[in-house]
Amino acid sequence: MEIYKVREISRRNLLILLGAGTLSASLGSGLFSSEMVSAKESVASTASDKALKRLLEGNKRYVAGKLLNSERNPSRIHDLAKGQQPFAVVLACSDSRVPPEIVFDQGLGDLFTVRVAGNFLEPGGLASIDYAVEHLKSPLVLVLGHRRCGAVTAVVESIQTGKALPDDISKFSEAIAPAIESAKKQLGDAVDNAVRANIKYVTNELKTSQPVLAEFVKKGQVKVLGAYYNLDTGDVQVIA
């Protein structure tokens, strides 16, 4: 709803700026359409920035132990029965220590979440994210990886030892190994480098994903960012 509201305001502001008398003449000019596009872009970008700010403020409360736990009550359940308008989409790991609604201190209906061990992108996850962006108008997509991720660790160890992963979790390897290729030659903690490389890789995959996300990103209607969750402190940092 918020994005629609700000768009309405933007349209009203444009009308005020142009004046009713000049509107019809301006409608036929390229100037009007380019102004309208840039106004829409800045409004959409504001919606994405606001969404990020809301997430990071929630994370600060979580780290400080000052959770509001708002929007988790019977009246919210009742309101949401009519429909949802989550302000952000989060692609996170399934790890029990990184539930997005809790680490960002958000309530029912706030976040549209996709979770898979290793927060990699697979077709079902992508379709879900596309749906949230296209139909629920979420202005922000956040890829959330985390320190000492078990799935990433398994793939790093498999590469280091040359031992294939068991069949039931070999999908991790297929998805994560290409993502962490760029981290192989980096100095420092191999798993942490791989976690960060995986976040950046998946963020880029989403940004360039056709036909939906890339177009929304190009039009400035959605921001796709990658963030790292510190298991030791609870802190979230945007890294991509």
Q: Whose Cβ is closer to Zn ion: residue 102's or residue 136's?
A: 102
Q: Whose Cβ is closer to Zn ion: residue 93's or residue 194's?
A: 93
Beta carbon of residue 195, minimum distance to Zn ion (angstroms, whole number): 8
Q: What's the one-letter identity of residue 38?
A: S
Could you say whether residue 101 binds Zn ion (CB under 5 A)? Answer: no
Q: Whose Cβ is closer to Zn ion: residue 95's or residue 130's?
A: 95
From 40, 44, 51, 95, residue interacting with Zn ion (rule: CB under 5 A): 95
Which listed range, 9-17, 18-26, 89-97, 209-217, lies at the site for Zn ion (CB under 5 A)? Answer: 89-97
Q: What's the one-letter identity of residue 66?
A: K
Of 106-165, which residues contact Zn ion (CB under 5 A)? 149
The pair of structure tokens assigned to 65 is: 């132990």
Q: Whose Cβ is closer to Zn ion: residue 18's or residue 103's?
A: 103
Number of residues that bind Zn ion (CB under 5 A): 3
From 18, 90, 93, 133, residue interacting with Zn ion (rule: CB under 5 A): 93
8 A C-beta contact, residue 202 and residue 196: no
Beta carbon of residue 81, minimum distance to Zn ion (angstroms, whole number): 33
Q: Whose Cβ is closer to Zn ion: residue 194's or residue 224's?
A: 194
Which listed range, 48-56, 71-79, 90-98, 195-203, lies at the site for Zn ion (CB under 5 A)? Answer: 90-98
Q: Whose Cβ is closer to Zn ion: residue 95's or residue 192's?
A: 95
8 A C-beta contact, residue 197 and residue 183: yes
Beta carbon of residue 133, minimum distance to Zn ion (angstroms, whole number): 24
Q: Whose Cβ is closer to Zn ion: residue 93's or residue 121's?
A: 93
What's the chain look like in SS3? CHHHHHHHHHHHHHHHHHCHHHHHHHHCCHHHHHHHHHHHHHHHHHHHHHHHHHHHHHHHHHHHCCCCCCCCCHHHHHHHCCCCCCCEEEEECCCCCCCHHHHCCCCCCCEEEEECCCCCCCHHHHHHHHHHHHHCCCCEEEEEEECCCHHHHHHHHHHHHCCCCCHHHHHHHHHHHHHCHHHCCCCCCHHHHHHHHHHHHHHHHHHCCCCCHHHHHHCCCCEEEEEEECCCCCCEEECC
Beta carbon of residue 151, minimum distance to Zn ion (angstroms, whole number): 5
Q: What is the contact surface with Zn ion in residues (CB under 5 A)?
A: 93, 95, 149
